Structure 1
Amino acid sequence: MRLAPTDVLRLGLLGPRTRKARTALSVLGIAIGVATMLLVTGIPASSGEALDERLAGLGTNLLNIHPVAIGDHQEPLPTTAVAMVARIGPVTSVSAVANLHAVARRSDLVDPNDGSGLSVLAARTDLLPAVGAQLSSGHYLSEATSRFPVAVLGAAAATRLGVPSIPATGGSLPQISIGNRWFAVAGVLAPVPLAPDLDSSVLVGWDVAGRLLDFDGHPTVVYVRADESTLDDVRTVLPATVNPQLPGTVDVSRPSDALAAKRATATAFGALVLALALVSLLVGGIGVANTMVISVLERRREIGLRRALGARRGQIRLQFLAESVTLSAAGGVAGTALGIGAVAGYAGWQGWPVVVPAWAAGVGLCGAVLIGVIAGGYPAIRAARLPPTESLGAT
């Protein structure tokens, strides 16, 4: 007679219910294997995510565009450069600054030619996210303040001009002289590792620079961030995009060396994860196979009795195969939970983001079931081939 699925499951649970200690050890073996696989995938993934965040802080996807000097002549970047670059699909952010060749002074009593080694730059309101800059105090330029005589100081510029910070409470803002005009200082930047030139710069709004400081609208440097996977392609098309008529007058910086390091790290992690995952699953499979072979040897009388009562060989095979799959599946579930918990705990201890690849959890569960089928195959066939008379006579 044909066994119903519920009967197969009941027979598969017969061995685990009657041999609880051995079942627990078998489940533990496969659980450790699956948990190990999740550990060797989750910990490198979490570490890699933390490394990616640190490398991203080094500007792996940041490109700088400058005009090229040909002899004594330098063709300026077009006034439409920012708008044209923003139309490139993989570009995520773009901004620009322009050197105004003006002098910034703490007071109008200072020598008009003494600029303290500072640059006065016209800056767009979207500059900070493009270069990864942060404010130390105060506020950055907005659409409203960029139309008025308001300035933001770089970290070094603030020190040289004697304005180290902007008070958080209300009150009058410090003032500096730029091009013999008074500007209120609204904010001070923290040091900018990706654009160190900004540290010794005084930033004013794009609009007010054109109205009060004779700015012609041509940017000096354009900052571009793009998707890392297409960064090389974006760099290739940037000169022709910025200046279609004279692409040779546009220079684009090469991607940061940190990007190459990031790609090499991802490759190394991938090879390590694959090797360790295969080893961990192999160890778990050997444990289940050993358990099932011993189970067949110990249960020969049971097998002989079932055969004498009419059980066919296929049903005996199905019984032991179901038992093997049950052990492996239970170990897979326990190992997945154990592995995720271990990854979360270790990543939290290291201060990393918790990353457990979904494919690893899926492979762990499916792999455990597959291991049960493979590991239980030979013992199930061996059990089905035992002659009833020989089995019943076993001691």
Structure 2
Amino acid sequence: MLTSLKIISPANLRSSRAKVVFCVVSNRNFFVKKISTEVQLYKVKAQSKVLTQFGTEQRCGFHTSRPCCIPPVLALILRPVIQVGAFLFGRSFKKWWRRKSPEQRQYYVDWIMSKKSSIYGFFGFFLFALFTYYVTHLQIDPITKRSRFMIFTKEQQDVLAKLTLEQHLEMSKGHIVPESHPVYQRLIRITQRLLIANQDLKAVKEKQWSLTVVDGSAKNAFVLPGGSIFVYLGALKLVENDDQLAIILSHEMAHELLNHSMEQVSRGVILDILLALPIALLWAFFPDMVAFIFQILGQSFINILHNLPYSRALESEADDVGLILAAKACFDVREAVVFWGMMRMLTELKVESDPPALLSTHPDHGDREKNLNEALPNAIALRNSVGCSYLSPKDPRNIFYMRTKKDHEIYFRRRGIAKS
């Protein structure tokens, strides 16, 4: 049963780090450091049709035994090991084959032909086992109801999250903004508001959310597995107000609520296993230079047709869920359209670079602007249903769209975003 929301500082992390961790404390015993200030939860009045969007996590009921999940450290090293192993096996086989006489080669060919049924059976069994493993490790996301492939248990995800966090903290060492910094305090207020308003989501309550602000010019923000949000000071140069900041933070929080990072690692492992045999055969039967060119072309082909579209789909999904999180926290969700409209305009003015949509991990800025605009009516209805005050009749989208391209250029120069 939910009782309170507390701010804690994990003892296993460096005290010098500018970091605050938020967690929901229940009646279970949590080994956390208590402090005097408690933030009282406010009740969210949501209509039943809205609350039905969010359920409890379900697993695919196909398997009859406990899923065999891969240890996180093994998963991290498995992908390069598979790729390098396939390459080395292929080249070694090619060198070994070249040393054989025509008679020896014919002997091996005859032997393989005699065992053809067994070889086909082995590969058939392997593909069936891989398919079975995939199906028995499908989960139904509680928020989107989309099925996803996951090779990690929750405990394993926690281990991987800790390893990833420590790595990023080490990379940012000496550049982490202190808790007393105004930007840090501003971001904490927004993050708290988003977390408190979305306590009806199980994933929000279970995670130990944290915020780290990095003193860097990069216009970037991201979330690590486990709920560690990183924001660079450079990202704040692009936003006009707290509502746009909330859109960025809620988007990053949505990535973690949807477990996108773990899903990507899981899919990457299964894809590398499938590609191991083609890579080995490529290096076994083609000259090195030809094999290298074909492998590069093949990887580019898979990247363009599978990896990048999949990444863009996850980004769009995070946009949609992030809009819901921001709406329930009573932010002006119309600012989401304005923010991505600004990003589109900055690209058109060549202030910010944006790769072609086909080669990008993120959707086109204009597409995000359009999709969020289409999702706004539902988001505003949700916002009204949870008891938020009505939005100002002065729609920020109208102000944005009334500006000409020249007006935008002058505006960006005044803000220091574009060069004079």
Does the alignment reach a TM-score above 0.5? no
Relative contact order, higher structure (CA 8 A, sep 6+): 1
The TM-score, its normalising length taken from structure 1, stands at 0.24
Larger radius of gyration: 1
**Higher strand residue share:** 1
The TM-score, its normalising length taken from structure 2, stands at 0.23
